[in-house]
Amino acid sequence: MPTPAARLNTLPPYPFALLTQRVRELNQQGYDVIGLDIGSPDMPPPECVVEELYRSAREPDHHGYAGYKGTPEFRAAVAEYYQRRFGVTVDPEKQVLPLLGSKEGIVNLSLAYLDRGDVALVPDIGYPAYSMGALLANGEVFWLPTREENDYKPDVSSIPEAVLKRAKLLWINYPNNPTGATADADFYKRMVDFCRQHNILLASDNPYVEVTFDGYTAGSALQIEGAVDCTIEFISFSKSHNMAGWRLGAAVGNVEAIKTLLTVKSNMDSGHFQPIYDAGIIAFDEVPQAWINERNAIYQRRRDRILETLPEIGLTAQKPKGSLYVWARVLEGDGAKYAEEALMKAHVSVAPGAIYGPGGTNYVRFSIGIADDRLEEALTRLKKWYSAR
Ligand SMILES: Cc1ncc(COP(=O)(O)O)c(C=O)c1O
Residues within a 6 A CB radius of ligand 1? 39, 101-103, 127, 173, 177, 205, 207, 236, 238, 244, 249
Give the model's pLDDT for residue 146: 96
Give the model's pLDDT for residue 181: 98
200-241 per-position pLDDT tens digit? 999 999 999 999 999 999 999 999 999 999 999 999 999 999
C-alpha 224: how far from chain center: 21
**pLDDT < 70 regions, the chain:** none
The number of the ligand 1 atom at minimal distance from the alpha carbon of 238 is 10
Distance (Å) from CA 138 to ligand 1 centroid: 22
The protein residue whose alpha carbon is closest to atom 14 in ligand 1 is 39
The number of the ligand 1 atom at minimal distance from the alpha carbon of 126 is 1
Distance (Å) from CA 166 to ligand 1 centroid: 26
Which phi and psi angles does 48 have, rounded to 5°?
-65, -25
Distance (Å) from CA 78 to ligand 1 centroid: 18
Give the model's pLDDT for residue 295: 98
Give the model's pLDDT for residue 333: 84
The number of the ligand 1 atom at minimal distance from the alpha carbon of 176 is 1
Sequence-distant contacts of 264-268: CB under 8 A, at least 24 apart:
264/108, 264/111, 264/112, 265/68, 265/97, 265/99, 265/104, 265/105, 265/108, 266/68, 268/108
Distance (Å) from CA 333 to ligand 1 centroid: 27
Tally Cβ neighbours within 10 Å of residue 94. Answer: 14
Give the model's pLDDT for residue 300: 98
Name the nearest CA neighbour of 86 among 186, 205, 217, 251. Answer: 217
Distance (Å) from CA 14 to ligand 1 centroid: 13
The number of the ligand 1 atom at minimal distance from the alpha carbon of 102 is 11
The number of the ligand 1 atom at minimal distance from the alpha carbon of 103 is 9
Query: pTM (2 decimals)?
Result: 0.96
Q: How far apart, in whole angstroms, are the C-alpha atoms of residue 167 and residue 159?
A: 10
20-75 per-position pLDDT tens digit? 888 899 999 999 999 999 889 999 999 999 999 999 999 999 999 999 999 999 99
Distance (Å) from CA 102 to ligand 1 centroid: 6
Give the model's pLDDT for residue 6: 87
The number of the ligand 1 atom at minimal distance from the alpha carbon of 173 is 1
Which of the listed residues 205, 232, 247, 365 should we mutate to test ligand 1's pocket, taking the one with most ligand atoms within 8 A of CB? Answer: 205
Distance (Å) from CA 29 to ligand 1 centroid: 30
